[in-house]
Amino acid sequence: MSVDRSDAGSDGLVEDILRDTWAFYPSQASQLGLHRYDGHLPDIVPVALSRRAADVERALSSLRAIEPDKLSSAKRLDHGVLVSALEKEMFELTELETLRSNPMEALWHIDVSGYIKRDYAPLEQRIEALTSALSEVPRFLRSLRQGLASPPSGPILEASVEAYRGMVAFYDKDLAGAIDGVVSGRLRSEFDRARSGTARAVAEFVEHLESLRDGASGDFALGEERFLGLLRLGEMVDLPLERLLEIGYEDLARNRARFLQVANRIDATRSPEEVMSEIAKDHPEAGALISETGGMLEDIRRFVVDRDIVSVPSEVRCVTTETPSFMRWAFAALDTPGPYESKATESYYYVTPVEEHCSAGQKEEWLSSFNYPALATISVHEAYPGHYVHHLHDKKALSRMSLVFGAYSFVEGWAHYTEEMMVEEGFGAGDPRSRISQSVEALVRDCRYICAIRMHTRGMTVDEATRFFMENAYMERLPASKEAMRGTFDPMYLNYTLGKLMILKLREDVRNERGDAFSLREFHDTFLSFGAPPVPLVREAMLETPGDGAL
């Protein structure tokens, strides 16, 4: 017999579950803005992971004893999100055993950049917490090393070697440089001792990973059952594999046809690659990259407001600035505060400048990636009306749980959806370069979608995936190989396209229900009001007749 709990009773249970979760994952809690957990890393020895799995099972049993219909709509949504999150965690702990097979899954725990990125407390307090966290990294890595059941697959092993080697450079150079001249005395000496010890521990872990190369296999695939399980539990999408692939190929064909049509319209005498190469030449100068990006953001924001596309519920702008040296693995990225952050609430739109040591040719190649149409598409995705506008709506979200355990397909699906939606609404003033830039980004995401499925369930190799990106997204070999490699350790990077397609279908279904009363702004505002739960949950809330499929 199910337990009839009130909202208040449900709140008490949720608080108990969250308290246990943050106690086990203190680094996650700290990044969310719960700074009483600063300075600690999780214990991932096998017995601790087993205890956590037992705790999750008990929590799920208690949550399943609640009748969701007895809860208010907001609490019902929280309940659904939390059950989904815990079921996914249980799957990762017991079925996937990610920490025993994929070192990339542990990397974020030893990323301590949050202590220096945000001024949420006095510097001395943050450095003390940072020092404490650094001192726990060697123990964490020993546990990770001991827990590896066997050598990771070759592709995941190579990605891990590269990533952890980059973390050594971060500790050795960037972390030390970040506090030069601002901390001294005992605090500095303790920090330096912890930092150097941590750098050595990570370097030794890299050496250990390198020693496993001879025993590594090429088999990184999850297999059909586990891949579909991860998709079902993380995104609430439960479709046969062949139908999922069919959907991906349909979107690839749609975007490819549009891309070729627009390329031909720009210059029918040139190949698509030549057209793209010509577009890439039109970019900001190195010294003007940040300022021009900031100006472009204002233009995009004005377009969103003037066209009444979605509410922008704050006059506060994200700060456009250079990417910190320790984050320059990406061209551009948005950094927002965690949902529990109460002081350091700024959002930063990071744009990675040209490095001074680069040759003239390398500088030109880097800047070509920021050609004006591409920069506009990136800025739509990251800021207006993509991730930053989503973040602004989060402040009044109906579900706090969905912000804490946000669905991959909602977060990235929304940002990717906005790229296409903005062009549909007239962004770019009919300039075909805007459409071709948006189409290229869509082709890359379509390739991720298809390659993720085929690599993990249909035997596609990394080399075959690399060629797929080259042939279908017009990428050079190096970036194509990096995209293919990412699919080995991030199988759910299909969620950019998956989320976009679910939002497009939801929009069409809402339009059909509302008829002449449909409002694009109202649709977007309502969609974002839920936070970031799996899209099928939003579908149930927004439609009178949700139907039987989100895709």
Range of the domain at 286: 227-499
Is residue 394 domain-shared with residue 475, that is, in the same domain? yes
How far apart are the C-alpha atoms of 397 and 402, rounded to whole Å? Answer: 9
Would you state the pLDDT for residue 441? 96
User: Within a domain: residue 540?
Assistant: no
Is residue 153 domain-shared with residue 26, that is, in the same domain? yes
Q: Shortest CA distance to 438 belongs to which of 317, 327, 279?
A: 279
Select from 218, 236, 253 the last residue of a domain: 218
At residue 432, φ and ψ (nearest 5 deg) are -60, -20
Select from 218, 248, 275 the last residue of a domain: 218
| Tokens linked to 105 | 């899954």
Is residue 101 domain-shared with residue 196, that is, in the same domain? yes
Is residue 115 domain-shared with residue 208, that is, in the same domain? yes
User: Within a domain: residue 362?
Assistant: yes
- For 148-167, b where at least 16 C-beta lie within 10 A, e where not — what string? beebbbbbbbbbbbebbbeb
User: Within a domain: residue 528?
Assistant: no
**455: which residues sit within 8 A by CB, 6+ positions away?**
220, 221, 461, 462, 465, 484, 487, 488, 491
Would you state the pLDDT for residue 2? 42
User: Within a domain: residue 520?
Assistant: no
How far apart are the C-alpha atoms of 230 and 222, rounded to whole Å? Answer: 10
| Tokens linked to 233 | 């539990």
Is residue 452 domain-shared with residue 324, that is, in the same domain? yes
- DSSP lists the bridge partners of residue 320 as 349
How many separate domains does the chain show? 2
Would you state the pLDDT for residue 546? 87
Residue 518's region, left for phi above 0, alpha for psi from -120 to 50, else beta, is: beta
Contact 407, 82 (CB under 8 A): no
How far apart are the C-alpha atoms of 202 and 137, rounded to whole Å? Answer: 8
User: Within a domain: residue 346?
Assistant: yes
User: Within a domain: residue 544?
Assistant: no
Blockwise average pLDDT, block size 10, the chain, 551 residues = 52 92 97 96 95 97 92 89 95 93 92 91 94 97 90 91 91 84 84 95 96 89 96 96 98 97 95 93 93 96 97 95 75 92 94 85 88 96 98 89 93 98 93 94 97 98 97 91 94 98 97 96 97 94 88 91
Q: Specify the amino acid at residue 202.
A: V
User: Within a domain: residue 447?
Assistant: yes
Is residue 298 domain-shared with residue 205, that is, in the same domain? no
Is residue 200 domain-shared with residue 297, that is, in the same domain? no
Is residue 316 domain-shared with residue 416, that is, in the same domain? yes
**422: which residues sit within 8 A by CB, 6+ positions away?**
303, 304, 309, 380, 385, 438
Is residue 20 domain-shared with residue 124, that is, in the same domain? yes
Bond from prior residue into 491 cis (ω within 30 degrees of 0): no
Select from 190, 218, 246 the last residue of a domain: 218
Contact 24, 56 (CB under 8 A): no
Q: Give residue for tokens 């190096």.
A: 478
Q: Specify the amino acid at residue 115.
A: Y
Is residue 278 domain-shared with residue 162, that is, in the same domain? no
User: Within a domain: residue 1?
Assistant: no
Would you state the pLDDT for residue 11? 82
Is residue 461 domain-shared with residue 317, that is, in the same domain? yes
Residue 36, exposed/middle/buried by CB under 10 A (0-12, 13-18, 19+)? exposed
Query: Do the strands 332-335 and 348-351 form a parallel or antiparallel pair, or are they unpaired?
Result: antiparallel
Is residue 83 domain-shared with residue 120, that is, in the same domain? yes
Would you state the pLDDT for residue 7? 63
Residue 7, exposed/middle/buried by CB under 10 A (0-12, 13-18, 19+)? middle
